[in-house]
Amino acid sequence: MKLTLIGGGGVRSPFLAKSIALGAHLGGIKEVVFMDTDKEKLDKFGLMAKIISNKINPDLDFKITTDSIEAIKDADYIITTLRVGQDEGRVIDERIAMKYNLLGQETTGAGGFGMALRSIDVLINYCQLIKEHAKKDALVFNFTNPSGIVTQALRKKGFNNVYGICDAPSEFIKQLVAILDVDENDFSIKCFGLNHLSWFKDARVKGKDVMGELLNHDKLYTDTEMRLFEPSLVKQSNNMLLNEYLYFYYYRDKAIKSIKSAGQTRGELIKEVNQDMMKELKTVDVQNNFDKAFNIFMSYYLIRENNYFSIESGELRPKQLQVPSVREMLDADDEGGYAGVALNFIKAYHSGKSVEMVLSIPNEGAINGLEDDDVVEISCTIKKGTIIPKHVGHVDDFQLNLIRTIKFYERNVVEAILEKSKSKAVKALTIHPLINSYDLAVKLVDEYLEAHKAYIGEWQE
């Protein structure tokens, strides 16, 4: 079987290659293609990915290419991880929002709208190519942000083989497993909501309820992403745990103040780090001096990782990572990431073994108060060709009001982008709780449409 990664020149490609190389046999994967239209980045990060794959699994046929048709042809599985507009687009989105004292985070609110503008049409084109050139029953795993909105748009266009994936829920679950010191296979927890807007409840170990133990664990607010929240907010949330991105909704003013105090946005940090990284990597022959190239890569990559959420929260991650050698990286436990999520899906989908995982899929009655075709982020059971969302049913108003408001926003953003309708875009941003102003919505839509005209063309009123 063949797996293709569209966006294979991304900075995370070496880690994705490790996950795929380690887990390929579980899903019967024999061929892997990393494709990217940016040849310069593909020749650095894609080549590093290929070398890492060859070191781990030399029998895996690993290719890199800029040819989308070659990459997609006869593929069984496709992962999409694109950053249309690259780092500069992210910075533009953030700064337009900050100009109006609003958050420009790339998946929520104004910034998420800007990224959706650039991403959706490009993903539609790729999905059409997949329909024409991949295997008839090919599955697409969308990681392109804002993942929930993009997946909703692709589903609305009839690409029903697309599933949204995100590594935030799986990484959080691993943190919970670590503080409980239990086997991950023995642990289960129910996730529900929307992408980057979800909650976790009903934690169990071998069927035993451990939610109380988690809520009172002395490491919950230090060693997991719950460090961003207060116990009083958890109590308000009916004793549910929170997706880290809810920080932007519940601590909006704190986040804006922290970003202003830092003097730069997350996107500006990433852009600066990536530019410096590429500048140094240009001086190295990756193929013939891989250890040096890898050291440069990891030195800069960990600046990004160690500063995750620090600009927005004013606090560094408690666990600061150190630069590993190539051997140490290869020998370390695989973190999985979104490639691991996709591989777990593939393994379960084509075998008789049942696996629980979090996906973005149509609601189909799982959460009361939402439409059946609303794409939600929810725990699912995957087994032999079936994907079944875990039934949630009633959701307390404290969560449901926010879920329904953001879903209304997402539906209108999708319609606005598909129809190139300025009025629907304004309607969407007006109701978003991080904007909540018609006047600001009009200004934001005007500025984003102008800033990204090269990607989206002209819109109608």
Residue 191 has pLDDT above 90, yes or no: yes
The pLDDT tens digits for 237-282 are 999 999 999 999 999 999 999 999 999 999 999 999 999 999 999 9
Report angle CA 178, 334, 290 to the nearest 5 degrees: 140
Whether 329 and 294 have beta carbons less than 8 Å apart is answered as: yes
* Among 31, 11, 184, 117, residue whose Cα is nearest residue 419: 117
Cα separation, 29 vs 92, whole angstroms: 39
Phi, psi (rounded to 5 degrees) for 191: -105, 140
pLDDT at residue 374, rounded to an integer? 98
Q: What is the mean pLDDT of residues 29-51?
A: 97
pLDDT at residue 128, rounded to an integer? 98
Q: CA end-to-end span of the chain, whole Å?
A: 46
* Residues ≥6 apart with Cβ < 8 Å to 410: 148, 149, 152, 194, 375, 428
User: pLDDT class for 355, splitting at 50, 70, 90?
Assistant: confident
pLDDT > 90: what percent of the chain? 89
Q: What is the mean pLDDT of residues 114-123?
A: 97
Residue 338 has pLDDT above 70, yes or no: no
Q: At what angle do helices 337-349 and 167-180 cross, to 10 degrees?
A: 90
User: pLDDT class for 460, splitting at 50, 70, 90?
Assistant: confident
Tell me which H or E stretch contains 140: strand 139-142
Instruction: Give the number of C-alpha atoms closer than 13 A to the C-alpha of residue 161, restricted to the C-beta side.
Output: 18
Q: Are strands 31-35 and 187-194 parallel, antiparallel or unpaired?
A: unpaired
What would the CATH number be for the domain defined by 2-87+101-164? Answer: 3.40.50.720
Residue 329 has pLDDT above 90, yes or no: yes
The domain ranges of the chain are 2-87+101-164, 252-328
User: pLDDT class for 344, splitting at 50, 70, 90?
Assistant: confident
Instruction: Give the number of C-alpha atoms closer than 13 A to the C-alpha of residue 28, restricted to the C-beta side.
Output: 11
What is the longest distance spanned by two Cα atoms in the chain? 59
pLDDT at residue 385, rounded to an integer? 82
pLDDT at residue 88, rounded to an integer? 97
Q: Between these two residues, 320 and 409, which has the higher pLDDT value?
A: 409
Q: What is the mean pLDDT of residues 224-228?
A: 96
